[in-house]
Structure 1
Amino acid sequence: MTVFSAADFSDHEQVVFVRDAETGLKAIIALHSTALGPAAGGCRMWRYASEEEALRDALRLSRGMSLKNAMADLALGGGKSVIMAPEGSYDRPALLRAFGRAVNSLGGRYITAEDVGTSVADMLVIRQETAHVSGLNSEPGKGGDPSPYTALGVYSGIKASVRHKLGKDSLAGLTIAVQGLGNVGRHLCTMLHRDGAKLIVTDIAQDRVKSAVDAWGAKAVGLDEILSVEADVLAPCALGAVLNAQTIDTLNVPVVAGAANNQLATAEDGERLRQRGILYAPDYVINAGGIIAVSHEILNQFDEPTVIAKVEAIGARLAGIFSQADKEGQSTAAVADRLAEEKIAAARKSSTVASRAA
């Protein structure tokens, strides 16, 4: 296994490998940047095929959090953690507490939250071992589960994308294909259905698909079909790297705008989408609603109307990226990356100057 020379290392500040033999915990905590503040990003628990796959996921996700937090103008850096789900039966609370101790050992440089494979209940267990956790149950000054805010931001981003690409101010009558019906996907479908959109859905869990068909009159398709269905918008809301040289050729939509992290398998895939005339809403911009809510929780400044207003502003932020990309003849992914990296570089330079002055 390589780390420093890994393709996705991207100048990470710190990568921590965690092992607890008693509980079976194997985890990776990746801190990409703390230039703007403590590295914040969720904890993903997944059954990875290999340690290399887990490392790649942690590195890609943590860099994405740096870009996401920078573009959302948050005083947070980017980090992410992945837990390699053990085979067979195991004591989940004990494993999570061991992970919490690892987070605590970083002294606040990393703040965790729920992600794919973890829940609010899991964060409450982790909270037994560290204060550096967010996304807890709602209480005064707390936002609780961030997934509804993520969904709201994606909903706002879809409307902005449709307005820019299709010239429509309403989603009524449009067909939107949603890949993944987890917490975010379900909240998103509720909003899209309310606006009169026609839904095409898929998920690895057939009970979720059946619920979508029953609740929203959605059309169900297979996991391998969703990326080639004819629709107005494709909303990837599952795992990442779904947009690659092969799948982009099969897309039958003018807009891709969804909640999944790291939707592009490679940096070149953003340009592939542009060449095909497909408008892509950069994932870490459109799905920032959850971390916006979490940032207010971390600072003990959670105010529902303020958070909602900032999340809904994601649409306007995307509109600016779309316009700039059109003007420059660049992909939306390239424009977003450049803007985010400029913010991080400026913060790092300012921090260096301040340190030297001290």
Structure 2
Amino acid sequence: MQTPWGFPDFDAHEALHFVHDAATGLRAIIAVHSTHLGPAAGGTRFWHYADDADALTDALRLSRGMSFKNAMAGLPLGGGKAVILAPADRSKTPALLAAFGLAIDQLGGQYVTAEDVGMSVSDMIEIARKTRFVAGLPVAGGAVGGDPGPHTSLGVFLGIKAAVKHALGKDSVAGLRIALQGAGSVASGVAMHAAAEGATLIIADVDGPRAQALATQVSGSVVDPAAILSTPADVVSPCALGAILTEQSIAALKTPIVAGGANNQLATHADGERIHARGILYAPDYVINAGGIINVSTEYVRDGDASLVRQRIEAIPARLEQIWADSASSNRNPAEVADAMAMALIGR
């Protein structure tokens, strides 16, 4: 595998840890992008990658995104991310999770983990048996903690409403068409919020039955995953995996707004300018999808309760408005504006 320093997404990471435990088959990467504002916090992704280079690129991009996300959300956390290289059958054992917990613990608090794609609350329980540097753990009703997914969904929905207000002058998504890419935890939460306010949902997911089940639940419709980004809609909401906004997909967009919960939606920096040049309003992903890490931070730092979590999530639209206002006044695209803000906050 090529040395990490040669990867375009390396971006002066503070540390990279390659983890291997032969007894359990664990292979993982823990990427620490920045600890300028606090311990590097970000979830663990359990995913089957085509090759090791793809896993490294994902870890680097995701950890940098967490630095930016945590900084823009005003959290006392730096940015990091872990990926566990899953086997083709995506099986995992308590022993593998224990070995991963030990690897985190050996970093002495440099990195704090939580749930991401492929990981659950029960997985965090297993990891927590070996380290205290973990969040997203089950809690009693009303307390801060648990699955961060619903909090991410709420923030994304509020961000969509802010985008609709900014671009379309509407205070509600009632009667609007939202093309939702994904039908997982975050996407499902967004769909529920939007449907409750009267939006029409068009849904796509690589798991066809899952897409159909969500569509049935929200009285929506299903389209082929290859068609979702080019579906005519008032809002296109990417809520699956990243790097889906490319030169080709941006050219095919038929929407005035792109606002969704997926991380690293832009395939390259140039794609931020491409979407802006088309006159499409873009909500930078690490700003709109910060609800989950806001909940994780409040749980881990213990600096507030559930009402404060809600208050912090409800501040997401104001941050987006600031980015869009700065974009309009400076003629820079929103992704560029947000990156500049975040880099200043982490001292880069």
After TM superposition, what 4+ stretches of structure 1 lie above 4 angstroms from structure 2?
88-91
- Write out per-residue CA displacement over residues 156-197 of structure 1, whole angstroms, 9 at most, x where no aligned residue: 100111111111111100000110111111111000000100
Specify the SS of the correspondent of 1:199. Answer: strand
Shift of 1:300: 2.0
Q: State the distance in 1 between where 2:118 and 2:34 align.
A: 24
1:267 to 249, 260, 269: 269
Alignment map for 1:52-71 (pairs within 5 Å) = 52-71=53-72
Q: Equivalent residue for 2:170?
A: 168
Distance in 1 (CA, whole Å) between partners of 2:315 and 2:90 is: 44
Do the aligned residues in 2 keep the contact of 1:293 with 1:302 (CA within 8 Å)? Answer: no
Alignment length (residue pairs) = 346
Q: State the superposition RMSD in angstroms.
A: 1.2
The alpha-carbon deviation at position 88 of structure 1 amounts to: 4.7
Query: Residue 27 of structure 1: SS of its match in structure 2?
Result: strand
- CA–CA distance in 2 between the matches of 1:163 and 1:209? 28
Q: Which of 223, 234, 237 is equivalent to 1:235?
A: 237
SS of residue in 2 equivalent to 1:242: coil
Equivalent-residue separation in structure 1 for 2:293 and 2:91 (angstroms): 30
CA distance in 1: counterparts of 2:300 and 2:199, whole angstroms: 35
SS at match of 1:266: coil
Report the 3-state secondary structure (helix = DSSP H, G, I; strand = E; otherwise coil) of the residue aligned with 2:347.
helix
Tell me how far apart the structure 1 counterparts of residues 11 and 307 of structure 2 sit (CA, whole Å).
36
Counterpart Cα distance in 2 of 1:213 and 1:35 = 43
User: Unmatched 5+ residue regions in structure 2?
Assistant: none
Say whether the 8 Å CA contact 2:48–2:90 is kept in structure 1. Answer: no
User: In structure 2, what is the equivalent of residue 287 of structure 1?
Assistant: 289
* Alignment check: 8 A CA contact 2:149 2:292 kept: yes
Q: Is 1:131–2:164 an aligned residue pair?
A: no
Shift of 1:201: 0.2
Measure, in 1, the Cα distance between the counterparts of 2:202 and 2:143.
Answer: 37
Tell me the residue number matched to 1:353: none
Which residue matches 1:356? none
Q: Give the AA of the match of 2:316.
A: I
For normalisation by structure 1, the TM-score amounts to 0.95
Secondary structure of 2:95's aligned partner:
helix
Give, in angstroms, the shift of residue 207 of structure 1: 2.5
In 2, Cα distance between the equivalents of 1:111 and 1:146? 14
Counterpart selection for 1:298 from 281, 284, 300: 300
For the 8 Å contact 2:250–2:275, the answer to whether it is kept is: yes
Identical aligned pairs, as a percentage? 54
Contact 2:177 2:234 in 1 (8 A): yes
Corresponding residue of 1:37? 38
The separation in 2 between residues aligned to 1:250 and 1:87, in whole angstroms, is 32
Aligned in 2, Cα 1:107/1:217: closer, same or farther, shift over 3 Å?
same
Cα distance in 2 between the residues matched to 1:180 and 1:90: 22
8 Å Cα contact 1:143/1:302 also seen in 2: no
Question: Which letter does structure 2 place at the counterpart of 1:107?
Answer: G
Contact 1:154 1:188 survives alignment (8 Å): yes
SS of corresponding position for 1:115: coil
Q: What is the CA-CA distance between 1:233 and the residue it aligns to?
A: 0.4
| Aligned-pair CA distance for 1:217 | 1.2
Whole-Å Cα distance in 1 between the matches of residues 99 and 76 of structure 2? 28
The residue number in structure 1 matching 2:338 is 336
Distance 1:5 1:202, change over 3 A: same
Is the CA contact 1:141–1:300 (under 8 Å) kept in the aligned structure 2?
Answer: no
Mapped partners of 1:225, 1:174: distance in 2: 19
Could you state the TM-score of these two structures normalised by the residue count of structure 2? 0.97
Deviates more, 1:110-119 or 1:210-219: 210-219
Which secondary structure does the structure 2 equivalent of 1:293 belong to? helix
Shift of residue 206, structure 1, vs aligned partner:
2.2
CA separation of 1:173 and 1:32: change in aligned 2, threshold 3 A: same
Relative distance call for 1:91 and 1:322 in structure 2 (3 A) is closer
Contact preservation (8 Å) 1:100, 1:130: yes
Q: 1:319 aligns with which of 295, 318, 321?
A: 321
Instruction: Please tell me whether the aligned partners of residues 212 and 221 of structure 2 are also in contact (alpha carbons under 8 angstroms).
Output: no
Taking the aligned partners of 1:14 and 1:66, their CA distance within structure 2 comes to 13
Distance in structure 2 (CA, Å) of the matches to 1:91 and 1:261: 24
Q: SS in structure 2 opposite 1:78? A: strand
Structure 1 residues 141 and 172: CA distance shift in structure 2, 3 A? closer
Distance 2:323 2:146 in 1: 30
3-state DSSP of counterpart to 2:79: strand
- Structure 1 segment 129-208 matched on structure 2, within 5 A: 129-139=130-140, 141-208=143-210
